[in-house]
Chain A
Amino acid sequence: MRKFAKYTEPLAYKSKITGTDINPSVADVENYNHSAVGDNELQKLPDLEVWKRFRNGDEAAFTFIYYNHFASLCRYGSQFIRQKELVKDHIHDLFIELSDQRRKLSDTNSIKFYLMKSLKNRMLAAKTKSPAFSEEETDFNGYNFEITFSIEHNIIKDQAIEERNQKLNAAIQKLSKRQREIIYYYYFEDLSLEEIMQLMDSGNVKSLQNLLYRAIHQLREYVNIKLAMLIFGFYLYL
């Protein structure tokens, strides 16, 4: 991409957002090639409205939904089935079904939750139906929410941190599947406890809170190393 700069005069940069006229920087121009993203009408709408449009046959909304959720569904799906190709097949089937059934679908305030729920049901159903699916492609003969601990920092490769990560990674294997699952939803999917409750077929929010708290507590019990403030102070102001 750098070579692009050669053909562009660096221009005085004024204002990218507010001005009616601007002098974009070279970097802006370099981005032309790849950045096709901007604000748009659908992005500003609440999920409920996007979903409604999709159900009313608005295909722009359909592809918008695909566009926004494909990546997170891939990661989520791979928690149930390890093979990438199978995960993609399931996501494909899910979208085909959504498209076919659009008029029968119910309202939702969270498209992400709706898709995750549908994908989970679909994958678990497929697994019980076809025994060939199960053992090989999955670990723990069920699904596996895999969380790891690492600190991505190039400057500090401290022995104590390495040790801490190793301990945590060992500790997390000792958690129950449900404990790992709630950690996944809570920290990586930004779902509310009410949504997590439905995804996990749990009775109430309180018991989920306890499940989460115990999981975190358990992890921290294994690790008695206090993270030195000196090392992690920088995190706060990134």
Chain B
Amino acid sequence: MKYRNYTVEDYIVDKDFVRWVKKPRASDRLLWESWMNSNPDHRDKIIEARAFILSMKAEGFEPDTSDFREVLDRIMKNTRKETRPVGYHSWETFVRISPFWRVAAILALAFSVSFGVFRSNQTDVVTQVADTTEDLIIRENQPKQRSNFNLPDGSLVWLNGDSKISYSVTYGNENRIIHLEGEAFFQVAKDESLPFVVKSGSIYTQALGTSFNVNTRKGDLQEIALVSGSIRVKSRKNEVVVKPGEKVIHKSDIAGLKVSEYNALEVLGWKDGILHFQNSGFHDIKRRLEQWYDVQIVVIGTLDSNWNYTGTFHESSLERVLERISYTKEFSYSIKNDVVTIKLNSL
């Protein structure tokens, strides 16, 4: 072995040795441990060399996330400065003349990719539409497709399947207003001067630096769940301030805004491909499965009123989910094309 005559210095400058110390892999560990065991006289040298390397620190500028975002924002803005788009009405002009939006769009894509939220092969659609009043950026996901991207101000968005957000090209400069249909999770970049507002139907949710989930697809109700920070939710008639761990439910203006606690896994799991049911009723599960897998579920038989189910699925197939639920809840099912037939056994 070449290490036979190694001195402490030899170890310190040996590339393989350095790698073991800095970024150990199982195979490296095996090698060095067995080498030490069979050569006890080298043990002290190795310990010495290892301690020497580990005690060395490189000084320098360690950026934080605000540095990271600031420079990225400037890169985006400065590409825009050079060729400011005048009018863009088609995809072609969008691609040809507006490097800023190209960067913005792709950046969004990049974040989706680098954050690993793209589980399907499709790319989500980023379009820019010439509105009559102002230019809007629209981002839309097909059913079953989920994405993750950041907005020009550095805020992060996780967009669920069959959902859509739009915002003005002036977003980040003049306003921070997002229109949402479907479901999205927002992690808002701090900016005291521009409030971050999500408009979903008739509901406005306003935030400073915070993260929250808005779901408009729960049948006839909307649900807004706060993770951190604070938000203010406004309907036509009411207004509430929400604390972390609480959600707001809006069914109708007459019923008002109801605040309650929520199960984080159930409400936020979708971002990570997790489908979680917490004492969920049959209709809730049915609706969520239909949305998640983009299928139609037909039910035969009558339901026990106490029917509820708790379970967690991660990136599971529809068959797998139905298999597991039917195992405990005793029903049979069949899947044909996009239609699932569930036959309840409680007849």
Asked if A124 CB lies within 8 Å of chain B CBs, one says: no
Chain B proximity mask over A1-27: 1 for CB below 8 Å, otherwise 0: 001101111010000000111111000
Query: Which residue in chain B gives the minimum CB-CB distance to A73?
Result: B63
A118 located at the interface, meaning its Cβ lies under 8 Å from any Cβ of chain B in the complex: no
Binds B, one of A107-115, A127-135, A225-233: A225-233
Asked whether B110 lies within 8 Å of A59 as measured between CB atoms, the reply is yes
Q: Mark B59-101, 1 if CB is under 8 A from A, else 0.
A: 1111100011011101100110000000000000000000100
* B28: min CB distance to chain A, Å: 12
Count chain A residues whose beta carbon lies closer than 8 angstroms to a beta carbon of B.
Answer: 78
A192 to chain B, nearest CB (A): 8
Q: How many interface contacts (CB-CB < 8 Å) are there between A and B?
A: 221
List, in ascending order, chain A residues with CB within 8 A of B74's CB: 92
* Cα distance, A190 to B15, chains bound together (Å): 9
B285 CB to closest chain A CB (Å) equals: 15
CB distance from B236 to the nearest CB of A (A): 29
Interchain CA distance A95-B315 in the complex, whole Å: 37
Per-position binary interface string of chain B over residues 256-286, scored 1 when its CB falls under 8 Å from any chain A CB and 0 otherwise: 0000011111001101101000100000000
Q: Are A216 and B12 in contact (CB under 8 A)?
A: yes
Q: Are B63 and A37 in contact (CB under 8 A)?
A: no
Rounded to whole angstroms, the CA-CA distance of A8 and B263 in the bound complex is 5
Which range holds the interface residue count of chain B?
35 or more
Residues of A within 8 A of B107 (CB): 59, 63
User: Which chain A residues border B43 with CB–CB below 8 Å?
Assistant: 229
Picked from B22, B72, B227, B313, the residue with its CB within 8 Å of the CB of A66 is B72
Give the interface of B toward A (CB within 8 A).
Answer: 8-9, 12-13, 15, 18, 22-23, 43-44, 46-48, 50-63, 67-68, 70-72, 74-75, 78-79, 99, 102-103, 105-107, 109-111, 113-118, 148, 156, 187, 211, 227-228, 244-245, 261-265, 268-269, 271-272, 274, 278, 311-317, 320-321, 324
Binding site for B on A (CB under 8 A): 3-4, 6-9, 11, 19-24, 29, 32-33, 36-43, 58-64, 66-67, 70-71, 74-79, 84, 87-88, 91-92, 95-96, 99, 145-151, 165, 168, 183-184, 186-188, 190, 193, 209, 212-213, 216-217, 220, 226-227, 229, 232-233, 235-236
